[in-house]
Amino acid sequence: MVKKNKKITCAILIIGNEILSGRTKDQNVSFLASWLNSNLGIKVSEVRIVPDNEKEIIKSTQTLSKKFTYVLTTGGIGPTHDDITAKSISKAFNKKYTFNIEALNILKKYYGNEFNDPRKKMAKMPTGSKLIYNPSSAAPGFIIKNVICLPGVPLILKSMIHNLKKYLKPGAKIFSTSINCQTVESKIARDLDLLQKKFKKFVEIGSYPFFRQGKIGVSIVVRSIKKRNLQSCHKNIIKVIKDKKIKIVRSS
């Protein structure tokens, strides 16, 4: 049985000019954060977006890989001139940027007679990389040290995610509850602050305003790796809400 580490953290590094220009809307962060949290107990602690610029990719990769347990990158591993993620990460770790024979064979089999030089580029990565297999379009992602490189296309990334799990050490399961109530944040802000200080070592409290069907409300989300502390904090919040005669829309 794998012993779970309670402090497994992750950063997501989004690479691509198209994200920064606003032309393409990122869909990967919410999916990856939810998958890592709910399936593996890995907390996403930072998200960073950088352009298709070698120096920026190298700098961010080196910084984040030292700070977090894992770094997941998305984008920049395709066949075009601006797909420079693999080459940049090779330089970040002083690894040779060369063809991975297994990746080359996978792509050659997939493309057959249409396996041209741009497509061959997708088989180049840092020496020593392990492949993350791609059931959608064949071109694999890869992992080198604690950096995991995935494609930017959401549907392809999602299809590869089950092949990524074996490389990740799970953390402690993160439990959560939510309370939706009809109020404004300012009315409960002080009380939530006091409760956060009370449970600061064990619980994380988040407050998120919403506007639905013409009604203003607040969603209070409580997270913890300790179920007993989570339940205790949840009861305290419910008491505060009832004492203030605030209507609870939903609690789970």
Whether residues 152 and 47 share a domain: the answer is yes
> Does residue 1 belong to any structural domain of this protein?
no
CA gap 164, 31 in Å, rounded: 14
- Which of these three, 147, 167, 187, is where a domain ends? 167
Instruction: Record the pTM.
Output: 0.85
Residue 45, H or E segment: strand 43-50
Phi, psi angle pair for 239, to nearest 5°: -65, -45
- Which of these three, 167, 185, 202, is where a domain ends? 167
Identify whether the C-beta of residue 124 lies closer than 8 Å to the C-beta of residue 77.
no
Domain total in the chain: 2
Nearest to 139 by CA among 115, 167, 165: 115
222: helix, coil or strand? strand
Range of the domain at 216: 175-251
Q: What is the CATH number of the domain that holds 106?
A: 3.40.980.10
61-113 pLDDT per residue, tens: 999 999 999 999 999 999 999 999 999 999 999 999 999 999 999 999 999 99
Phi, psi angle pair for 126, to nearest 5°: -65, 140
Whether residues 129 and 209 share a domain: the answer is no
What is the pairing mode between strands 70-74 and 147-150? parallel
Whether residues 63 and 125 share a domain: the answer is yes
Whether residues 141 and 179 share a domain: the answer is no
- Which of these three, 105, 134, 167, is where a domain ends? 167
Q: State how far the alpha carbon of 40 is from the alpha carbons of 109, 119, 156, 229, 243, in Å.
A: 33, 33, 21, 20, 37
> Does residue 2 belong to any structural domain of this protein?
no
Averaged in consecutive runs of 10 residues, what is the pLDDT profile of the chain (252 residues)?
A: 66 96 94 93 95 98 98 96 97 98 97 96 98 96 98 96 94 90 94 93 92 88 91 95 91 72
Identify whether the C-beta of residue 88 lies closer than 8 Å to the C-beta of residue 28.
no
Identify whether the C-beta of residue 152 lies closer than 8 Å to the C-beta of residue 28.
yes
Whether residues 82 and 48 share a domain: the answer is yes
187-207 pLDDT per residue, tens: 999 999 999 999 988 899 999
